[in-house]
């Protein structure tokens, strides 16, 4: 017995028939197809036959609808004609009504959605908001009669006394920002200038030793400025804004040298303190990453991405070989510079987020402002660990990212005062943890604090 399948519709069975008819099936169809097998038909021929069959069925339906009694059969739900016409897959969705004209609100939403999708496809969503960079000089002249720049330190800018004194009275107030001050930085080494980052999108640099006036205003962010940081010689500085941009400024001219963005908000920016690595920029981002750039090429060279929350602080310790970072995930992680692997992980159930960390001048200790109203001390030597015997409490900072710094030990309070705590007067951990002084008189929350090491003055910024 031989099975012969010329087409899907034709099946011929060859068998020994006593009457002499050796085939069962349609011989005419066999001749039409030249005895071709279904497996030998090309793919495009299959599609072609399906389309022809569909057209034949549609033409038959049209003829029935056009006939006298066809309309009745089509309208009759119990008829086979109606079932053939209205059959559909069980996975097909419900038929929607006719599309009506969109309202103005729907049109506006559709346009915004299409615009957003277009930006995502073109990659524009990875860039920060663009703002024209401007700078205004407020001094009399940018160079004196000897040709020295206005950022040059005075020749008499030297510390006269190495002893630390507790601040006692208000000396000067810098007022020029229309909103709060988020960060304070003194000019490196001499401290004759001070830079303030404002919530009004502006960065202002002020004279400290002489007139106390604003020398230059830098405008290049569309939203509040979160952090600022000087390079080692002070000729350039970084700004990080809530507009998702990081900008590298020339302090003297006010020009933007370069800009960086990952499409996320930078919370903290730092430069590698090594003289030969001043082109290395590290930024703690809102997407839980620490991004490292080479500013010479503008390329991202490394990403540290093991935090579980926004990164708040970056500090260089151990001769700039280790980087302790804190995050909203209530942990402290220590990284080896250039290697995205955590070498020390500190996280306890009782720990709170630490939005501000300051390094002691002898680099052996870290002071961390914890949101449970404490200042915690961590050792940066061989074993990176918490010093449980040295802690400072008594001020209220919960809910604010208040900074901490060293002048002996300076903590910030949100009870409209700053508390100056004893403990680091000689570079050693003091035996006494008693409160030395409370500076009152602030009308608003004190968010930032810094020490001028030449004039031995304490500067506090209002939130």
Q: How far apart (Å, rounded) are the C-alpha atoms in residues 327 and 312?
A: 5
| Higher pLDDT pick, 19 / 333 | 333
Beta bridge mates, 259: 247
**Residue 177 and residue 171: Cα distance in Å, rounded?**
19
Sheet architecture: strand order including 23-24: 2-7, 10-14, 23-24
* pLDDT tens track for 87-106: 665 555 555 544 557 788 88
Domain boundaries, the chain: 1-60, 350-463
Which of 395, 381, 463 is CA-nearest to residue 429?
Answer: 381
pTM, to two decimals: 0.66
**How many CB atoms are located within 10 Å of the residue 241 CB?**
26
pLDDT, average across residues 214-235: 91
pLDDT score, position 125: 46
pLDDT of 21 strictly over 60: no
pLDDT tens-digit map of 234-251: 899 999 999 999 999 999
Distance CA 440, CA 425 (A): 22
Sequence-separated (6 or more) residues with CB below 8 Å from residue 421: 375, 392, 408, 409, 410, 411, 433, 435, 436
Q: What is the pLDDT of residues 189-219, one digit of tens each?
A: 888 899 999 898 999 999 888 888 899 999 9
Cβ contacts of residue 76 below 8 Å, gap of 6+? 82
**CA-to-CA dists, residue 1 to 12, 22, 270, 420, angstroms:** 11, 10, 87, 106
| pLDDT range class, residue 323, cuts 50, 70, 90 | very high
Bridge partners (DSSP) listed for residue 366: 359, 378
pLDDT, position 73: 58
413-420 long-range contacts (CB < 8 A, ≥24 apart) are 413/446, 414/445, 414/446, 416/440, 416/442, 416/443, 416/444, 416/445, 416/446, 417/441, 417/442, 417/446, 418/442, 418/446, 418/449, 418/458, 418/460, 419/394, 419/395, 420/166, 420/167, 420/458
SS3 category, 202: strand
Question: What pLDDT does 5 receive?
Answer: 47
Which residue from 304, 138, 257 is spatially nearest to 205, judged by alpha carbons? Answer: 138
Q: What's the chain's average pLDDT? A: 77
- For domain 350-463, give the fold: Methylamine Dehydrogenase; Chain H (2.130.10)
pLDDT of residue 257: 92
């Amino acid at each position: 017995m031989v099975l012969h399948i010329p087409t899907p519709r034709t099946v011929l069975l060859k068998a020994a028939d006593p009457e002499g008819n050796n085939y069962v099936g349609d011989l005419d169809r066999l001749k039409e197809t030249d005895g071709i097998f279904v497996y030998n038909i090309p793919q495009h021929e299959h599609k072609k036959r399906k389309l022809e069959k569909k057209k034949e069925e549609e033409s038959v339906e049209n003829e029935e609808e056009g006939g006298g009694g066809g309309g009745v059969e089509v309208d009759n739900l119990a008829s086979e004609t109606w079932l053939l016409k209205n059959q559909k897959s069980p996975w097909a969705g419900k038929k929607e009504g006719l599309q009506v004209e969109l309202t103005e609100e729907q049109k506006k939403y559709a346009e915004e959605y299409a615009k957003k999708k277009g930006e995502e496809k073109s990659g524009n969503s990875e860039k920060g908001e663009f703002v024209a960079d401007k700078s205004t000089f407020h001094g009399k002249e940018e160079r004196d009669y000897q040709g020295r720049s206005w950022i040059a330190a005075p020749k008499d800018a030297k510390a006269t006394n190495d002893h630390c004194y507790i601040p006692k009275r208000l000396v000067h107030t810098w007022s020029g920002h229309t909103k709060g001050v988020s960060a304070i930085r003194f000019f490196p080494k001499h401290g004759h200038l001070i830079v303030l980052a404002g919530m009004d999108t502006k960065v202002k640099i002020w004279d400290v030793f002489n007139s106390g006036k604003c020398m230059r205003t830098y405008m290049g962010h569309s939203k509040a400025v979160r952090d600022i940081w000087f390079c080692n010689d002070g000729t350039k500085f970084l700004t990080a804004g809530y507009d998702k941009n990081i900008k590298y400024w020339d302090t003297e001219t006010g020009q933007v040298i370069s800009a960086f963005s990952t499409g996320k908000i930078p919370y903290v920016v730092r430069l590698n303190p090594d003289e030969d690595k001043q082109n290395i920029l590290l930024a703690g981002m809102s997407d839980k990453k620490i991004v490292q750039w080479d500013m010479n090429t503008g390329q991202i060279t490394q990403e540290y991405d093991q935090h579980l929350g926004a990164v708040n602080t970056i500090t260089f310790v151990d001769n700039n070989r280790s980087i302790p970072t804190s995050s909203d995930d209530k942990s402290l992680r220590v990284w080896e510079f250039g290697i995205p692997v955590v070498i020390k992980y500190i996280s306890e159930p009782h720990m709170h987020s630490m939005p501000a960390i300051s390094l002691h001048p002898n680099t052996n200790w870290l002071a961390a402002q914890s949101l449970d109203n404490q200042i915690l001390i961590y050792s940066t030597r061989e074993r990176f660990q918490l010093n449980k015997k040295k802690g400072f409490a008594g001020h209220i900072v919960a809910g604010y990212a208040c900074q901490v710094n060293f002048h002996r030990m300076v903590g910030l309070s949100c009870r409209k005062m700053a508390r100056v705590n004893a403990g680091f007067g000689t570079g050693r951990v003091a035996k006494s943890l008693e409160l030395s002084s409370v500076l009152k008189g602030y009308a608003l929350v004190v968010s930032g604090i810094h020490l001028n090491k030449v004039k031995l003055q304490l500067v506090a910024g209002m939130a």
